[in-house]
Amino acid sequence: MSQSSRTSSGTAPTSSTGDRPRTGVRAALALVLATVLTLAGLGLGQAHAATASSVAQAISANSGTATVRGYVVGQPTATNTVVTSNYPSDYALALADSPTETAPSRMLYVQIPSQFRSTYGLRSNPGLRGTQLEVTGTLAAYFSHPGLKDPSAITRVTATPSPSPTSSPSPTSSPSPTSSPSPTSGTPSTGYYAAAAGKTGQALKLTLHDIIDDNRRLSYTAVWDALKQTDEDPRNTANVILLYTGKSQAKSDNGGGETQWNREHVWAKSHGDFGTTAGAGTDIHHLRPANVTVNSIRSNKDFDNGGAPVAEAPGNYTDADSFEPRDAVKGDVARMLMYMDVRYDGSDGPDLELAETTSSGTRPLHGRKSVLLQWHLQDPPDAFEQRRNDRIQQIQGNRNPFIDHPEYAGAIWG
């Protein structure tokens, strides 16, 4: 028993002595691991914490992805115009570092995608003005102005009361033809639109016609070379950008082959039966390079929403009587047709009119007007469209007013 007792007694201390060091090591390792994880967690949190930029910082950066914090101060309707009441749509808002800011040069224009419009669109939520928001998206020109496009997140920061109307006039500034973006030699000189100041409705339409109707007429053959200049790919000057596909294709690859590009009449030439005669048939404001096959699919259809996808041009849709272009050029299409309506009033060619129809046939009509006005707001003029307007002025001698002054569309057609 004594032996047994000694053995047991001798074994126990050995086992106990062995356990104590292992327990101590485990405890120490656990403490070190916890400390490391805590510090790592803090470090990771700091590394990934989203730091919101001010509007001024975002304007200065002008590229990349950013989260921007600012106050809603109104809705941009043109490069230098922000309205603070009677908002025309839910497609855009302007942010500033101060809720009472009135200078568009200190504002960031924010595109509002469809999923955010019911909550953050100003036509639906006019009381949003003065509210501080954080918006995450891509810094890029919008309305040819520093902007934030394709937001992935929009959140309220505070519910700051709206500023007094006396401290924020509406609109914040009048559009200035001399400050039209894309500073090329084609930019309209001071006074180009002076006669249109203060006019609306039919009076504005007639005045704009008088401003733009004295243009040079090209031959249909000359249109080939003109389009190689007006629609040149900024990233590859040997190519042009095709209207419906967005593809960059060699300037030299034009013709009648199904994979080549040809001259698309955006205002279908059968709508008024003007064909390819000098004037409406060769006016490069509405002629664009397009894939031959897609051009044939579009045919002479009016424009409207809906239809089946066009396999040769993803993002485009068509049905029996209409064609819907990709989102990136919806506004371009609308403004080309608006130009044609104003430019050709029957005095020196067909009398063209926008109409609420998708069955224009050979009548001098093009639709659907309400959809075109919606597209005009949804897809405002970008740098490519502005540059194109400048180059057309150099070639043809006139401009598209709805690119320089998008607000004219609402002033004429409401």
Q: What is the enclosing helix (H) or strand (E) of 81?
A: strand 81-83
Matching CATH number, 55-167, of 2.40.50.200, 3.30.210.10, 1.10.8.60, 1.10.132.20: 2.40.50.200
pLDDT of amino acid 190: 58
HEC states along 5-17?
HHHHHHHHHHHHH
Residue 265 tokens, joined: 């009449």
Exposed, middle or buried by CB within 10 Å (0-12, 13-18, 19+), for 51?
exposed
pLDDT of amino acid 73: 95
Domain segments of the chain as ranges: 55-167, 186-413
Question: In a structure prediction context, what are the per-residue pLDDT tens digits for the chain, which is 414 residues long?
Answer: 333 333 333 333 333 334 444 445 454 455 444 444 444 433 333 333 358 999 999 999 989 999 999 999 999 988 889 999 888 888 999 999 998 899 999 999 999 998 999 999 998 898 889 889 999 999 999 998 999 999 999 999 854 333 333 333 333 333 333 223 332 334 565 589 999 999 999 999 999 999 999 999 999 999 999 999 999 999 999 999 999 999 999 999 999 999 999 999 999 999 999 999 999 999 999 999 999 999 999 999 999 999 999 999 999 999 999 999 999 999 999 999 999 999 999 999 999 999 999 998 899 999 999 999 999 999 999 999 999 999 999 999 999 999 999 999 999 998
Residue 235 tokens, joined: 């990233």
**0.85 exceeded by pTM:** no
> Are the C-beta atoms of 245 and 294 separated by less than 8 Å?
yes
- Angle at which helix 330-343 crosses helix 201-212, to 10 degrees, equals 90
Q: What is the enclosing helix (H) or strand (E) of 133?
A: strand 132-139
**From start to end of 244-315, where are the E strands?**
248-250, 261-265, 287-291, 302-303, 308-309
